[in-house]
Structure 1
Amino acid sequence: MKTAVTVDFWFDPVCPYTWITSRWLREVERMRDIDVRWRVMSLAVLNEHLDVDPEDPEGLYKEYMKAPGRICAAVRERYGNEALGRYFDALGARIHGQQDWSGTAAALADAGLPAELDSVAMTTEYDDAVRSSQEAAVALVGDDVGTPVLSVEGAGALFGPVVSPAPRGERAGRLWDGVVLMAGVEGFHEFRRAYGALDFG
């Protein structure tokens, strides 16, 4: 009996491109036999050694940008992978779908999780968990990339794909097949073209 392919997906919940890519991955779950493990990373942490953070050039939102990832880390540690997937679905729908950046607590309710998890948002309680998770991604792809990071069991790991809008149906499946092929080529490094406008589809 064929078993599902394990896929590790590292995401920063505040990144809109990562959100769109995650919607593609949810579609791939319908089209291919995969088992997604949701993993947290943080662009604010990834860029903290830079003089100017490209995601926050004025340095106004560093702690605020870390907050959703801290909650995600708490959800994963306390309630597991499936709960984190539910929370990310709910949180992303609010942040990226509704532009509701105050929706971390409401997203917990949407995902059927305790409201008290929101209390970790502006603390450092889960910073080590976020860093540890992110270090696992960086160890696979290097620190000169961003989010998302995708690791496919038996193939390899890569940054991306960055795709907008998220493909649906068999188009999502075909993109998945191509990503798996590329991830499995040790010498493969990059495809790239100019980014288009965000399309949340």
Structure 2
Amino acid sequence: MTETQPVEMWFDPLCPWAWITSRWLMEVEAVRDIEVTWSQMSLSVLNDGRDLPEDYRDLMDRGWGPVRVIAAARTAHGDEVTKPLYDAIGTRLHLEQEEDMRAATAAALAEVGLPAELIEAADTDAHDDFLRESHQRAIDLVGDDVGTPVISVDGVAFFGPVVTPGPKGEAAGRLFDGCVLVAGTEGFFELKRTRSRGPIFD
């Protein structure tokens, strides 16, 4: 018998690439013996204090809302609400193309059956210490020149994969095997090529 591999993925619900990676990792769960823990990182935390173009700064400012609400929900209701709330927010932002993050987050709370007043966490820094600590755990594993997603498998961590569309079935499993293989190779740091297409949600 093989042991179940612990896998941890850090996500920001704002990121379309992390969304695709999370859907791929769900495919991997069906074909490989893994158990995924879903954790938060934040592009708003990552870019806090950086000099950014005005439109991206606006996005980062608005991006605090969803991650703060997820952090508040987790604190009040336990780890088990993290993934369903991420799924509900991500569906609205990426599949339904909802541009109003607050509206998407409020609707997601209702869908998951969480108290509507949790939306108030979007406007405060009450859970920022937790959020920053969770974010920093990911950065400590892979370095500070990456974003989201970050995945750790049995202590082997990497940024990505950035892939679109996400592979399904055994193809998803083979990609997982390859990512773990290269990331676990001593001295291996990078594979990269220019993205030639945008996110494909299917």
TM-score using structure 2 length:
0.91
Structure 2 counterpart of 1:64: 62
Cα distance between partner residues in 1 of 2:198 and 2:7: 27
Partner of 1:126: 127
Please give the per-residue CA displacement for 1:95-134, whole angstroms capped at 9, x wherever unaligned.
Answer: 1110123210111122232222211011111111110001
**SS of the counterpart of 2:123?**
coil
Match of 1:74 in 2: 72
> For each residue in 1:46-89, what CA deviation from the matched residue of structure 2 results, as whole angstroms up to 9, or x when unmatched?
11232226xx6453243311111111112222223331111111
Q: Which moved more, 1:188-197 or 1:75-84?
A: 75-84
Q: Where does residue 143 of structure 2 map in the other structure?
A: 142
Residue from 81, 99, 104 that aligns with 1:83: 81
Identity across matched positions, percent: 51
For residues 111 and 9 of structure 2, the distance between their equivalents in structure 1, rounded to whole angstroms, comes to 22
Query: Where do 5+ consecutive residues of structure 2 fail to align?
Result: none
Is contact 1:64-1:122 (8 Å) kept? no
Q: Which amino acid aligns with 2:16?
A: P
Give me the whole-angstrom Cα distance separating, in 2, the residues matched to 1:152 and 1:119: 34
When normalised by structure 1's length, the TM-score is 0.92
Cα deviation 1:23-44 (Å, max 9, x = unaligned): 1011111111111111111111
- Counterpart of 2:49 in structure 1 is 49
How far apart, CA to CA, are the structure 2 residues paired with 1:9 and 1:180?
13
Indicate if the aligned counterparts of 2:39 and 2:134 stay in contact, CA closer than 8 A.
yes
Whole-angstrom distance in 2 between the partners of 1:117 and 1:15: 21
2-structure distance, mates of 1:94, 1:3: 36
AA matched with 2:73: V
Q: Deviations over 1:129-178 (max 9, x none)?
A: 11000110111111111110001015x10111111111111111111111
1:11 maps to 11
| Equivalent in the alignment of 2:116 | 115
Cα distance in structure 2, aligned partners of 1:63 and 1:57: 10
How far apart, in 2, do the equivalents of 1:94 and 1:58 lie? 20
Partner letter of residue 92 of structure 2? R
Aligned counterpart, 2:93 = 95
Distance of 1:198 and 1:134 partners within structure 2: 23
Distance change (3 Å), C-alpha of 1:194 and 1:82:
same
C-alpha distance in 1 between matches for 2:173 and 2:114: 31
- 1:182 Cα shift? 1.6
Matched, 1:31 2:43: no
| The structure with more helix, counted as a fraction of residues | 2
What residue number does 1:200 align with? Answer: 201
Question: 1:185 Cα shift?
Answer: 1.2
C-alpha deviation, 1:6, in angstroms: 0.9
